[in-house]
Amino acid sequence: MRLRDRKVLVVGVGPGLGSAVAYFLLREGASVAISARNAERLNGIVAKLSQHGRIVAVPGNAARPDDAARVVDSARNELGGLDHLVVSAGGYAETPLQALETPLLMNMLELNFLSHLYVVKAALKYLGPGSAIVLVTSIGGAYAAWPRHVAYVSSKAATAKAVEVLAAELLDRGIRVNGVAPGGMSHDFEPGRDWRGARRLGDPVAPPEDVARVVVWLLTDEAEWVNGAVIPVDGGRRLR
Ligand SMILES: NC(=O)c1ccc[n+]([C@@H]2O[C@H](COP(=O)([O-])OP(=O)(O)OC[C@H]3O[C@@H](n4cnc5c(N)ncnc54)[C@H](OP(=O)(O)O)[C@@H]3O)[C@@H](O)[C@H]2O)c1
């Protein structure tokens, strides 16, 4: 188990990628705190995954700086420490340029970008040498240009760039910062299923497990020389 006794906070956990990340973290021996706004759904995920290891729910809105700080503090108190951080919070909207309005732009920035910065900022007082951070962005924000998606894609691009800047800023503290840029993922996850049978290289949408495994790998010592990178995880779909 590559993350035995490590304590990990995952922010932005729903039934898809976040649940898959939590599951593979537990399988690697980590203790896990999961966060999102919907407390009821979080409790359901805890109930589903608790047979695999120690997992607690810390609900909150990461797009509000005070709440993000409260979530980080609660996670640290519940777990008895904090070693690693994953931020997967996000939201999606298709918007042609003519339909752009300030509330939608702000919403995309809050969910896909600002929430990540608030959580990282709040966690820094607990992280130290050997800690790792993974931010989840999107293929659209790092490796592709999607027409009619300028608000979504730009907010994801901001997070991809923040990965590099934060990694540079935290070099001397021994904290790694990386990103993953998923292609299309389904929102369903079931522990222990055969997800490989549900996708082929180049598919537009795939189960979240493959992305989750890269997120978890980035937290392990196997990735200790990977820093400031945003890894595309789309089965090569962007190459079509
Ligand atoms: N699915 C795809 O095709 C795809 C492709 C590329 C990138 N991504 C990105 O991958 C990540 C995971 O996506 P997913 O497919 O698992 O679907 P998702 O359901 O959209 O996951 C995002 C989760 O973030 C939580 N969240 C949103 N705003 C939040 C906030 N302010 N504070 C705390 N939590 C917040 C949501 O839960 P609450 O509503 O309960 O807060 C939701 O469960 C997202 O960042 C998404 O943008 C997804």
pLDDT at residue 235 in the model = 98
Pocket of ligand 1 (CB under 6 A): 11-14, 16-18, 35-38, 41, 61-63, 88-92, 111, 115, 136, 138, 182, 184-185, 187
pLDDT at residue 133 in the model = 99
Query: Quick one: which atom of ligand 1 is closest to the CA of 37?
Result: 41
pLDDT at residue 44 in the model = 98
Q: Give the number of domains in the chain.
A: 1
Which residues of the chain, if any, have pLDDT below 50? none
pLDDT at residue 116 in the model = 98
How many C-beta neighbours within 10 Å does residue 173 have? 11
pLDDT at residue 168 in the model = 98
Query: Quick one: which atom of ligand 1 is closest to the CA of 89?
Result: 24
Convert the chain into a string of H (helix), E (strand) and C (coil): CCCCCCEEEEECCCCCHHHHHHHHHHHCCCEEEEECCCHHHHHHHHHHHHHHCCEEECCCCCCCHHHHHHHHHHHHHHHCCCCEEEECCCCCCCECHHHCCHHHHHHHHHHHHHHHHHHHHHHCCCCCCCCEEEEECCHHHHCCCCCCEHHHHHHHHHHHHHHHHHHHHHHHHCCEEEEEEECEECCCCCCCCCCHHHCCCCCCEECCHHHHHHHHHHHCHHHCCCCCCEEEECCCHHHC
Which runs of E-coded beta strand occur in 40-124? Answer: 55-57, 84-87
pLDDT at residue 58 in the model = 98
pLDDT at residue 42 in the model = 98
Residues 6+ apart with CB under 8 A from 147: none
Kindly state whether residue 140 falls inside one of the protein's structural domains: yes
> Ligand 1, residues 17, 64, 86, 180: which to mutate, most atoms within 8 A of Cβ?
17
pLDDT at residue 163 in the model = 98
CA dihedral (67, 68, 73, 78) in degrees, to 10, reads 90
How far is ligand 1, taken at its centre, from the CA of residue 172, in Å?
31
Residues 6+ apart with CB under 8 A from 165: none
How far is ligand 1, taken at its centre, from the CA of residue 14, in Å?
7
Residue nearest atom 45 of ligand 1, based on CA coordinates? 90
Residue nearest atom 41 of ligand 1, based on CA coordinates? 37
How far is ligand 1, taken at its centre, from the CA of residue 115, in Å?
11
Residue 116: which CATH number? 3.40.50.720
Tell me: the pLDDT tens digits for 123-166? 999 999 999 999 999 999 999 999 999 999 999 999 999 999 99
Kindly state whether residue 93 falls inside one of the protein's structural domains: yes
Kindly state whether residue 233 falls inside one of the protein's structural domains: yes
pLDDT at residue 216 in the model = 98
Residue nearest atom 33 of ligand 1, based on CA coordinates? 36
pLDDT at residue 50 in the model = 98
pLDDT at residue 92 in the model = 97
Instruction: Identify the domain containing residue 188 by its residue range.
Output: 7-239
**What are 199's two structure tokens?**
């996708």
Kindly state whether residue 232 falls inside one of the protein's structural domains: yes
Query: How far is residue 127's CA from residue 182's CA, in Å, rounded to a whole number?
Result: 26
pLDDT at residue 30 in the model = 98
> For residue 25, which of 37, 41, 9, 40 has the smallest C-alpha distance?
9
Kindly state whether residue 123 falls inside one of the protein's structural domains: yes
pLDDT at residue 169 in the model = 98
pLDDT at residue 22 in the model = 99
List the beta bridge partners of residue 231. 180
Kindly state whether residue 1 falls inside one of the protein's structural domains: no
pTM of the model: 0.98
Kindly state whether residue 193 falls inside one of the protein's structural domains: yes
Kindly state whether residue 2 falls inside one of the protein's structural domains: no
pLDDT at residue 63 in the model = 98
